[in-house]
């Protein structure tokens, strides 16, 4: 649905949608301390195993606009049926914005949308936790809330929920699954393809566990150990990434593994919430900002990205003008560069013929490029032999961008 937003300078049409989840995860400087934020103005701080957040701050004008919209929504929507509320929310907003001729900036739009969704169709007090792409689980023990964090592990929060707030959260959760509470059951379980709820009902207190379903991911070392890919293939893809080439894959696991080969301080954009951030880079969740590297799931051919594109797609891609990785059963079985097959998997062996690589043939002295590919292959072979952990692997790759000679010397390869 298109909604006309009126501003001081000009009228622009924007897509009005349910709370766009745009977050920025900066580089992690310290092991137990960190801070990140969303474009709506939510700020998250991690300190000493505690998780703190602040919601978007509204100006007085934004508060008045939010109040006007809320009053209009209360008049137009039936809140006894949450599914119906969600379905008609966009239409109701369009009516309110048009009839009242409300003027709003893009930044104010994001902040106000957060509060509208939190109040009318979101999870209320735990909306931030549910939307945070790095929060995997939310556990309420009847008194306080703890979370499981993708970068910092188990964390405490200072959130205290009263009975009314807990009931409101669970009522909204249940409405998504079209199930009612059974008076006889002390345990309820709901799930879909993205999340699950486990609720325990007791006379003394109610507890719940909310879990996001995260796609399985593997590091380059894990993929190499499982023989899903070869060191030669990763060395080649690494060089392509360094040269900011676009790479298409049909496997999200490979897409995640490629994030280990990013240079330090790189700006990353991804449109999938379960993408594991490389803590040596800056990661933007959502596509409001384009990065140096764009890790995009289900990319559309007509979309244009300014940085390197590393993507999965269900659309047919022309082999003659792209680099495409084909997988079967999570294993790379073929890589084609501009129509030429450079890598394949046959007879239980990874085979390669990089002499036909347009990329390598376009880089001046081909002998130097081939030697660099071989050096990276040897380095990756050594790292997998030593079963290097994820954190050290990322650091080694980051250092290699700055001083390859130092890394190779340390590894005994030079």
Secondary structure in 3-state letters for 313-326: CCCCCCHHHCEEEE
**Which band of pLDDT confidence, cut at 50, 70 and 90, is reported for residue 80?**
low
Identify the structural domains of the chain with CATH numbers, from first to last: 2-212 (3.30.450.380), 220-410 (3.40.50.300)
Residue 30 pLDDT: 82
- Between 21-25, 189-193, 195-199, 202-206, the lowest mean confidence (pLDDT) is in 202-206
Bridge partners of 188, per DSSP, are: 199
pLDDT of 77 strictly over 90 = no
End-to-end, the C-alpha distance of the chain in Å comes to 60
Do 164 and 171 touch, CB atoms closer than 8 A?
A: no
Range in 14-18, 20-24, 360-364 with the lowest mean pLDDT: 14-18
- Count of CB atoms within 10 A of residue 175's CB? 17
227/72: higher pLDDT: 227
Task: Please state the separation of Cα 75 from the chain's center in Å.
Answer: 36
Question: How do residues 34-68 score in pLDDT, each as one tens digit?
Answer: 999 988 889 999 999 999 999 999 999 999 999 99
Checking if the pLDDT of 379 tops 90, the result is yes
| Cα 275 from Cα 268, distance rounded (Å) | 11
pLDDT tens by residue, 99-120: 888 778 888 888 888 998 888 8
Task: Return the DSSP state at 18.
Answer: S
**Is the pLDDT assigned to residue 10 strictly greater than 70?**
no
DSSP string, 126-170: GHHHHH-TTEEEEEE-SSEEEEEETTTEEEEEEEE--HHHHHHHH
d(CA 271, CA 276): 12
The contacts of residue 178 (CB under 8 Å, 6+ apart) are: 83
Say yes or no to pLDDT of 82 above 80.
Answer: no
Residue 262, SS3?
A: coil
Average pLDDT over residues 127-139: 94
Greater confidence, 250 or 145? 145
Q: Which two tokens stand for residue 133?
A: 């792409």
Determine the length of the chain: 414
Beta-bridge partner residues of 190? 197
Whether 8 has a pLDDT exceeding 50, the answer reads no
**How confident is the model at residue 182, as a pLDDT?**
57
DSSP, res 372: H
Q: Is the pLDDT of residue 386 over 90?
A: yes
pLDDT at 6 over 60: no
Residue 349 is encoded by which pair of tokens? 């062996």
HSE-up of residue 317 (Cα within 13 Å, Cβ side): 24
Q: How far apart are CA 276 and CA 149, in angstroms?
A: 11
């Amino acid at each position: 649905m298109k909604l006309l937003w009126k501003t001081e300078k000009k009228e622009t049409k924007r897509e009005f949608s349910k709370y766009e989840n745009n977050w920025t995860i900066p580089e992690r400087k310290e092991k137990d301390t960190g801070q990140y934020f969303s474009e709506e103005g939510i700020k998250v701080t991690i300190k000493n195993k505690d998780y703190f957040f602040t919601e978007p701050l509204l100006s007085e004008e934004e508060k008045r606009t939010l109040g006007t919209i809320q009053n209009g929504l209360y008049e137009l929507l039936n809140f006894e049926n949450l599914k119906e509320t969600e379905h008609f929310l966009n239409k109701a907003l369009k009516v309110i914005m048009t009839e009242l001729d409300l003027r709003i900036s893009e930044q104010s739009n994001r902040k106000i949308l957060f509060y509208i969704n939190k109040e009318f169709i979101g999870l209320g007090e735990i909306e931030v936790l549910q939307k945070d792409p790095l929060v995997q689980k939310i556990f309420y023990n009847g008194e306080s809330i703890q979370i499981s964090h993708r970068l910092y592990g188990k964390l405490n929060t200072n959130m205290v929920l009263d009975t009314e707030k807990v009931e409101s959260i669970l009522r909204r959760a249940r409405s998504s699954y079209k199930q009612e509470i059974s008076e006889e059951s002390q345990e309820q379980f709901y799930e879909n393809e993205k999340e699950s709820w486990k609720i325990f009902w007791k006379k003394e207190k109610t507890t719940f566990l909310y879990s996001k379903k995260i796609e399985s991911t593997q590091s380059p070392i894990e993929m190499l150990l499982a023989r899903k890919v070869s060191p030669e293939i990763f060395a080649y893809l690494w060089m392509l990434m360094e040269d900011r080439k676009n790479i298409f894959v049909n496997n999200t696991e490979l897409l995640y593994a490629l994030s280990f080969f990013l240079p330090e301080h790189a700006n990353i954009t991804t449109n999938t919430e379960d993408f594991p951030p490389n803590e040596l880079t800056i990661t933007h969740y959502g596509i409001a900002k384009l990065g140096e590297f764009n890790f995009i799931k289900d990319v559309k051919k007509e979309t244009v990205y300014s940085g390197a594109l590393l993507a999965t797609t269900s659309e047919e891609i022309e082999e003659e003008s792209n680099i495409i990785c084909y997988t079967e059963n999570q294993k790379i079985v073929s890589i084609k560069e501009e129509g030429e097959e450079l890598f394949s998997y046959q007879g239980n062996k990874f085979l390669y013929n990089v002499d036909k690589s347009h990329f390598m043939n376009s880089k001046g002295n081909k002998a130097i490029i081939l030697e660099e590919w071989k050096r990276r292959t040897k380095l990756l072979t050594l790292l997998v032999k030593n079963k290097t952990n994820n954190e050290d692997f990322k650091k080694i790759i980051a250092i290699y961008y700055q001083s390859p000679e130092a890394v190779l010397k340390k590894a005994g390869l030079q």
